[in-house]
Structure 1
């Protein structure tokens, strides 16, 4: 499929740095608890716990309308620096099980809060690797 082809193309470039990948569209998520967050924040936390990237990187996922789920954040940001704490991935998994990505990101300075923008174009994801 075209998506598989694009994915192979992107992953084949991951060792070439610096690198920036920008994507758009809306992801879906399955709510598994009573926590606070939204699809962009969850995507950011899931990226943190599943990435195989090495070196220095930062990943952002943000809603253009400034609203993400049931929180006041527009999205989330995670980085390779967060992985320096060996317990962080286990903590992240617990937050994800309760659909509670917002508090996880807030505690680590990764919640992106813009307030409502009045423009709902799409969600935007950005990966920057040095």
Structure 2
């Protein structure tokens, strides 16, 4: 349980770093500035600008996918931790009920009654 909590803390830190990295750069402004240069450039410059634009798009996509996979991992780990906590709570409740019922079984009298028509107590048999 503590290992899972430590993993969650580590993933939260990774998510925070990934979001800082994503927010530190404005990819759309960089791409648009390269597109503006595209209009007034020669053929050789356009090929360099095209490669630069594609590289920025790849970086943007990698950054986005890193954030999404980190969020998915964090969601999964938190869900697993929640299920483990619920399971532990249910186990303690079940164990407590089992202890109570085993005590109650010894205290109960096994009596079956059906309007007195041929059914008697178990102790009388």
Structures share a fold, TM > 0.5?
no
Normalised TM-score (structure 2)? 0.22
**Higher normalized helix content (fraction of residues):** 2
Normalised TM-score (structure 1)? 0.21
Larger Rg: 2
